[in-house]
Structure 1
Amino acid sequence: MTYSVFIDGEAGTTGLQIRDRLRGRADIRLVQVDPARRKDPQARREAFAAADVAILCLPDEAAREAVALCADLPTRIIDASTAHRVDPDWVYGFAELSPEMCERIASARRVSNPGCYSTGAIAILAPLIAAGLIQPDEALAINAVSGYSGGGKALIAEYESGEAPAHFVYGLSQGHKHIPEIMRQTGLTRRPVFAPAVGNFAQGMAVQLPLHLDQNRSIDALHQALAAHYHGQRFIRVTRSEAIGARLVPTAHNGTNLVEISVHGDDAAGCATVVAVLDNLGKGASGAAVQNLNIMLGLDEAASL
């Protein structure tokens, strides 16, 4: 069987990557709008109507407008924007979050794709909170660095022209758009301090959670809780720190849909850092969207990933 998919906003970074992943698949037919009519609401509505699933790769307000445009159509939607990530009427498209999440995604009409930083942070936090190794009201800090492709066309152009700095920290006002979804999807009740940064590399990401240790929260306990939660998962791997070495590289899983989590530190020193490495354009964006699409259509979850 062949399914029809419309990528609304396919000219953007995420849209292009989704299109490239789907193009050539015998089970997917891409619905496209004439470039001359891509801002024509009627042309877009016709594309929505012709699709089994539409993937929105748009700014937040445009994504809300797109949902309204096709509200009366049977088209199922995956939204890659931030617009619906904390909306209780949308299913959060993180298949590995809980045992029943795949079933919820499979039957959903509306799926919100996780953010890139959020994917790494939630992948670390959710199992540790569920295991009682982190308390929901604990004071936490999340540090992260991403490739510049996550900043969209303007930031990509700045780096490719050589005008951008080698590294910069941002989000210093603590208003980053990913914080609400991190809290909602992990059960955190106390807002974490979030310190994101951008490095001079196109794609790749490392999300770090530093923790103090005690007799209940040891390096081994953290590793075991994460490994148990993700046992048997295709796209999240928990690795012993000694297998990684002294340097952890944010670009290690570029071009894949993989998240690799590892626990580093020393029980005697009483400190640890849990790190998730992923491709911000893979499992952090287009890869997750295609994974969710496959689940919604009842196809192999790993197709084109």
Structure 2
Amino acid sequence: MPWRHMGKQVRLPMPQPILRKHVHLSGPGHITQLRVRVLRPCFGSPTAFLRHGGVRLIARREKPPFKSRCTYCHAREGCEKVAVYRLYNNSEVRALLGEWHLAGGREALERHDNNHAQRKWRDLIAALNRAGPFLSPVDGWIDEHIVAEDARIREEDRVRQAEARARLRAEKATRGELDEIALDRLKRERIFRQVQFDVTKKEASAPAWLSKGPTDTGAFTAKVWEALKRLELQGIVPNPSNIAGFLINHDLTDRGNQNALRDRTRRAFDRIEHLEHYTPPGRLGPLWPPLKAAQLLEDEDVPGLKDLVAAGFA
């Protein structure tokens, strides 16, 4: 059952047992030390204690009796200490409390025909307001809990919505439809791999299969990699022939002869396999980090690629 705190409904966990020795009070009823964290806005409230505390059953008008929250609360002992202190420490509050009890107390409040008890109740509340406000760390703890819970819920919603978008993108991808986010991610991944290839091939430690070859080898291999992922997203098993056709149909190559392009694509297949397993000296992972096609549909950006695009590699 939700609680109301500062005009907002919140769900709060059951507190750990709070005994009388855990609570220290001063002045009119300020809580100076509370050794157990409690998330209950009613903790130590005199009015909540008078209405619900110390009783196991509550009867309201003609409704059958039921157990109050206080019956189950683990903080009950410490809460009662605070509430009783605040009720009996102030002489005005103590006197009006006695008058309210004489007027019928809690049971009389539920009767429409006993306005005297209701008037005494209002007088008692006014006296408590004059005696307060009572200082307590509980409200601050509840506020912190609400902020943390709101953040947790927002994060769960963000993850859930991201997963839903990824599923929708996956469904569209099987039909060859990629949204702008997926296309942008794919483009950035291709640029990243092309740059890594072109930079590393110039290093003295680069193996022959990487350093040798035409100047456009890095760009072509990266385009083949992009075509591989596009076909995988559609559920098509890639091979040199359909990759070559894809490159031609999507204007990713200036060669229009599919048969001639197929041989170069086959060599690019082998090169991609090497790139995803080759770790250059001084680096922690493969030159081309392996990437599953489904990852392109997730709500994530590629670290560092925005800088590459801004530098003119796009």
What TM-score does the superposition give when structure 1 sets the normalisation length? 0.25
Query: Which is helix-richer, 1 or 2?
Result: 2
What TM-score does the superposition give when structure 2 sets the normalisation length? 0.24
Asked which structure has the greater RCO (Cα within 8 Å, sep 6+), the reply is: 1
Query: Which is strand-richer, 1 or 2?
Result: 1
Rg larger in 1 or in 2? 2
